[in-house]
Structure 1
Amino acid sequence: MNIEATGFDDLYLITPKVFEDQRGYFFESFHHKKFREATGIDCDFVQDNQSRSSHGVIRGLHFQVPPMAQAKFVRVLQGEVLDVVVDLRKEKSTFGKSYSTLLSAENKKQLFIPRGFAHGIVVLSESAEFFYKCDNYYSPENERGIMYDDTSLNIDWKIEADKRIISDKDTKHPSLEEFTSPF
C-alpha cells in the first residue's frame, strides 16, 4: 500500500498494491496496522456506508460537528468520482482550502479524511458506487454542510452548472464565511 501526503495535515491518498492475474485481482483495501505505522493515526472505524449515484450528482459538502465528528476512509467500487474536501480546522494553515482527487474503480485509489474536513463528491461516470468507513456514528443533529459552490472555495466540480444534480438540503448550506468552525 502506498500512502501519499497531500499537503494537508492527516489527509492521505492511498493506492493499494493490486495483485492481478487471469482470474481477476485482489488487494487489501485497508490494513489498520500498516496505516497506523505509516501515518501515526489510530482510527477505529465503527460504521460503513455505501451510496449509488448517477452522472452529475453532487453530494456535499458534508461533515459532522463534535462530539460526533467523523474521520472517513473513502473509495469507489464502480465508476468514477471527483472527491473534494475542505479543511475546516481553523488552527491549520490549510483552513478554508480544498483538495480534490479522482477516485475510481479502475485506479482503486482511496482517501483518508480526518475529522475537521467537509467532504463531497461529484459523479463523473454514468453512475458510481461509493463506499466509506467512518470512525463515529451518523448523528443527524450533528450533521452540517458548507455550500458546494461557495465562490471563495473556487472548486472545479468538472460538471457544467446546468448538468449538476443536487439535493434541496445541499443547496441550503452556509458559505464558509458564514460558518463558525468548531474544529
Structure 2
Amino acid sequence: MRPLGIEGAWVLEPEVFPDDRGTFHEWYRGEELREATGHVLSLAQANCSLSRRGVLRGVHFCDVPPGQAKYVTCVRGAVLDVVVDVRVGSPAFGRWEAVRLDDTTRRAVFLAEGLGHAFMALTDDATVVYLCSTGYAPEHEHGVQALDPGLGITWPEHVRPVQSPKDAGAPSLAQAREAGLLPSYEVCTAHYERLRTGRPAQP
C-alpha cells in the first residue's frame, strides 16, 4: 500500500494473476493494512452499491468518535473515487484526491475515520464494495456537497452527475464548517492513537 497525498488515506495496487480461467488477486490483507497504515480495520459492516453511469455518491463522513474507516474497491465497471480532508485544523483541510477504481487494476482505497468519501460511476452497473469499521448510524452521518465550487473536485466533464436528493441538498464545505458539522483534526488524531494503542487518548 502507498499513502495518498492526504494523511489517513492509502491506495492498494494489488498484483493480479491472470490465467485461462480468469484472474485472482488478494484485495484485502489485514496485516498488510496494519503494517502500512498503523490502523486496524475492525470489520463491523460490509456494503455493496450498484450505480449507473453518472451516479455521484457523497461526500459522506461521520462524527468522530465513533467515526467510520472504510476500505473501498470496485468489483465491476469503474468509478472515480475521491477522498476529501474535512477535518478542521488539518494541514490538508479542504484538499481532495481522486483514484480510479475499476475491475482491471483492482485498486482499493483505505480512508481513516474523519475523512470524507465520494465516488462517481464511470460505467453502467459500476459495483462498489466497501468494508466499514463501524455500522451505519444515521445520527452520526453527515455530508458535504460534492459539486461545491469551493471544494473544486474535478469530476469527469463528459459524465452528467446524478445525485440523490439528500446528497444534492448537502451543505457546502464552508456551510458545514460554520454549522459545526465537521470533525476536528485534533480529535481525529487522538482517536487514531487510541485505536492503535487500545488506551484512552490523552486530552
**Which structure 1 residue ranges, 5 or more long, are not aligned?**
none
* Residue-by-residue CA offset, 1:23-71 (whole Å, 9 max, x unaligned): 2111111111121112221221211000001011101111111333101
Whichever structure has more helix as a proportion of its residues is 2
Q: Name the structure 2 match of 1:165.
A: 162
Identity %: 36
Q: How does 1:116-135 map to 2 (within 5 A)?
A: 116-135=114-133
Q: Name the structure 2 match of 1:153.
A: 151
TM-aligned CA distance change 1:60 to 1:159, over 3 Å: farther
Work out whether residues 68 and 132 of structure 2, in 8 Å CA contact, stay in contact via their aligned partners in 1.
yes
1:174 to 171, 175, 191: 171
Q: Name the structure 2 match of 1:92.
A: 90
Does 1:56 pair with 2:75?
A: no
Q: Name the structure 2 match of 1:21.
A: 19
The code of the aligned residue for 2:169 comes to K
Offset at residue 79 of structure 1 (A)? 0.3
Work out whether residues 64 and 113 of structure 2, in 8 Å CA contact, stay in contact via their aligned partners in 1.
no
Work out whether residues 68 and 139 of structure 1, in 8 Å CA contact, stay in contact via their aligned partners in 2.
no
Q: Name the structure 2 match of 1:44.
A: 42
**Separation of aligned partners in 2, 1:103 and 1:167:** 21
TM-aligned CA distance change 1:160 to 1:18, over 3 Å: closer
The code of the aligned residue for 1:141 comes to E
Whichever structure has more strand as a proportion of its residues is 1
Offset at residue 107 of structure 1 (A)? 1.1
**Separation of aligned partners in 1, 2:94 and 2:120:** 19
The code of the aligned residue for 1:42 comes to V
Offset at residue 160 of structure 1 (A)? 4.8
Work out whether residues 76 and 108 of structure 1, in 8 Å CA contact, stay in contact via their aligned partners in 2.
yes
Offset at residue 175 of structure 1 (A)? 0.7
Secondary structure, counterpart of 2:175 in structure 1: coil
Q: Name the structure 2 match of 1:65.
A: 63
**Separation of aligned partners in 2, 1:81 and 1:182:** 26
1:107 to 101, 105, 108: 105
Number of aligned residue pairs: 180
The code of the aligned residue for 2:54 comes to G
Work out whether residues 64 and 114 of structure 2, in 8 Å CA contact, stay in contact via their aligned partners in 1.
no
Q: Root-mean-square deviation (CA), in Å? A: 1.4
TM-aligned CA distance change 1:45 to 1:159, over 3 Å: farther
The code of the aligned residue for 1:91 comes to G
Work out whether residues 75 and 102 of structure 2, in 8 Å CA contact, stay in contact via their aligned partners in 1.
yes
1:11 to 2, 9, 13: 9
Q: Name the structure 2 match of 1:32.
A: 30
Q: Segments of 4+ in structure 1 off by > 2 A?
A: none
Using structure 1 for the length normalisation, give the TM-score.
Answer: 0.93
The code of the aligned residue for 1:19 comes to F
